[in-house]
Amino acid sequence: MNRQTADHATLADKFNEDEPRVDWHDQTLWWVRAKRDKMAWSIPEWEQLRETASAIKLNALGNLHDYLVQFEQQAIQNGAIVHWAADAEEHNQIVTGILKKHGVHHLVKSKSMLTEECHLNPHLMANGIEVIDTDLGERIVQLAKEPPSHIVLPCIHKKKEEIGELFHEHLGTPAGNADPQFLTAAARQHLRKEFLQAKAAITGVNFAVAETGEMVVCTNEGNADMGAHLADVHIACMGIEKIIPQRKHLGVFLRLLARSATGQPITTYSSHFRQPRPGQELHIVLVDNGRSRQLGREDFRNSLKCIRCGACMNTCPVYRRSGGHSYHTAVAGPIGAILAPNLDMKDYADLPFASTLCGSCSNVCPVKIDIHQQLYKWRQVLVKEGYTTAAKTAGMKAMSGVLSTPAVYRTAGKMGRWVMRAFPGMVNNRLNPWYKQREMPAPPKQSFSQWYEKNKKS
């Protein structure tokens, strides 16, 4: 990846060239945040629920080895075939292998951010296998040849007119029709054909229960079920951190997930897959891809509690005004910024800095991940590992020198203010990024320290 053009600040700058569009994106996502608030306030025990979910996930992380073994045992007893993938490449090979074995060249897939993370679709295509994403939002970005910009609302960045155009081009809907009802009905027809033909279906997994070996998939559209219940082969792909200990814990997570994600009490369907249908093959692919490494990072392991609700994205003032694509990674926003550096520090060194550390994210997170504290800690790690510039380090060393020596600090301050007063053009110009859209603060004749020196007797 070309770091120069692909970093968050550059992409966010581009995103902000269209201010009305930024307003639209920001207001749409703020509205989703507001819906979450309304739902949260309808449950007096909301904060207790968050604390409980966080504690369950902590227990899961502390016993992950045994829970994984237990899950596998149960799943195999239930008739599923369990695969283990150390990384994204292996995951893609396993999935491709299963499909090739069954002679599948065309299949359906419901939402799985894990498969996005592993870049499964292009791998399948390169192997002559066409995959149709059946979540409406994902189908839209698939037709637009773009990645999803939000883990729950994949095409939140697209206007209905743009979607109308896409459907006109690919589904033959009338030109100029941008009515969501009409377009959804057209997608229903188009994808229904796909469901009825598909011999194989890939789904994600929202929660995998160690106690029972079952997997829960949550959708509003019913697309995961339409795929899995008609296909001869169901492949469920999951990150190893999706394990929860017991069936009853699903009550906690299902009460939190949709309320946090979209401000609904629950998704329309919460499907519990335990055994394959008679005559069907159920494959479960357990994926590591850096998760065991993150598990070992004491400061960052709590990021593995994530249930992929997207609430952090909806509340993040930076995400709302820069869009998911500015993060150039499958999972964007605040949670993405603490997960991605673990995958590749070089490619994602910019993400933890795409934040003001306001802390809103940590406080909407249903599993209480300390996201903003982890963002701060990642900054220290990245600088220490050298993912910064020589210029920045030199500047910081200079600043540290000035600020550690009171006399130098006072002189520098005095001089700086004098220059600003005498030669305002030196700072009030295009080279000063502050000055692009803001006035500089007016430089006073004396600092507080100088005033105090003169006046402290009084």
Enumerate residues 11-40 that contact another protein by CB under 8 A. Answer: 12-13, 15-16, 19, 22, 26, 28, 30-32, 37, 40
Cα 364 off chain centre by: 14
Across-strand partners of 412?
none
Structure tokens at 390: 């020589």
Cβ proximity to another protein: between 51 and 125 the closer is: 51
**In this structure, are residues 267 and 277 in contact, taking their beta carbons and an 8 Å threshold?**
no
Cβ proximity to another protein: between 128 and 445 the closer is: 445
Site string for another protein, 53-72 (x = CB under 8 A): --xx-xx-xxxxx--xx---
Torsion of CA 247, 249, 251, 253, to 10 degrees: -120
**Footprint on residues 376-395 left by another protein (CB under 8 A):** 376, 379-380, 382-384, 388, 392-393
Q: Under 8 Å CB-to-CB from 94, ≥6 apart: which residues?
A: 83, 85, 285
| One of 90, 146, 165, 347 touching another protein (CB under 8 A) | 90
- Rounded Cα distance, 119 and 91, in Å: 10
Structure tokens at 99: 């499909």
The one segment of 99-107, 185-193, 337-345, 421-429 that binds another protein by CB under 8 A:
185-193
Cβ proximity to another protein: between 100 and 445 the closer is: 445
**Footprint on residues 225-284 left by another protein (CB under 8 A):** 225-226, 229-230, 240, 245-252, 254-255, 262, 264-277
**Footprint on residues 339-368 left by another protein (CB under 8 A):** 353-360, 362-364
Cβ proximity to another protein: between 125 and 446 the closer is: 446
Cβ proximity to another protein: between 69 and 125 the closer is: 69
CA-to-CA separations, 54 to 103, 148, 342, in angstroms, rounded: 43, 27, 21
The one segment of 6-14, 96-104, 118-126, 423-431 that binds another protein by CB under 8 A:
6-14
**Footprint on residues 426-455 left by another protein (CB under 8 A):** 433-434, 436-444, 446-453
* 457 binds another protein per the rule CB under 8 A: no
Cβ proximity to another protein: between 105 and 274 the closer is: 274
Q: How far is the CB of 451 from another protein (least distance, A)?
A: 5
Q: How far is the CB of 401 from another protein (least distance, A)?
A: 8
* 46 binds another protein per the rule CB under 8 A: yes
Cβ proximity to another protein: between 18 and 125 the closer is: 18
Across-strand partners of 175?
none
- Rounded Cα distance, 12 and 134, in Å: 29
Q: Under 8 Å CB-to-CB from 155, ≥6 apart: which residues?
A: 137, 138, 140, 141, 144, 148, 149, 163
Cβ proximity to another protein: between 48 and 125 the closer is: 48
Give the helix ranges, DSSP H, for 283-385: 291-295, 311-315, 317-320, 333-343, 345-348, 360-364, 371-384
- Residue type at 346 in one-letter notation: K
Q: How far is the CB of 364 from another protein (least distance, A)?
A: 5
Question: Environment class of residue 22 by beta-carbon count within 10 Å: exposed (0-12), middle (13-18) or buried (19+)?
Answer: middle
Q: How far is the CB of 216 from another protein (least distance, A)?
A: 9
Site string for another protein, 139-158 (x = CB under 8 A): -x------------xxxx-x
The count of other CB atoms within 10 Å of the CB of residue 217 is 24
* 114 binds another protein per the rule CB under 8 A: no
Cβ proximity to another protein: between 27 and 125 the closer is: 27
Residue 223 half-sphere exposure, CB side, CA atoms within 13 Å? 28
**Maximum separation of any 2 CA atoms in the chain, in Å:** 92
| One of 116, 117, 221, 281 touching another protein (CB under 8 A) | 221
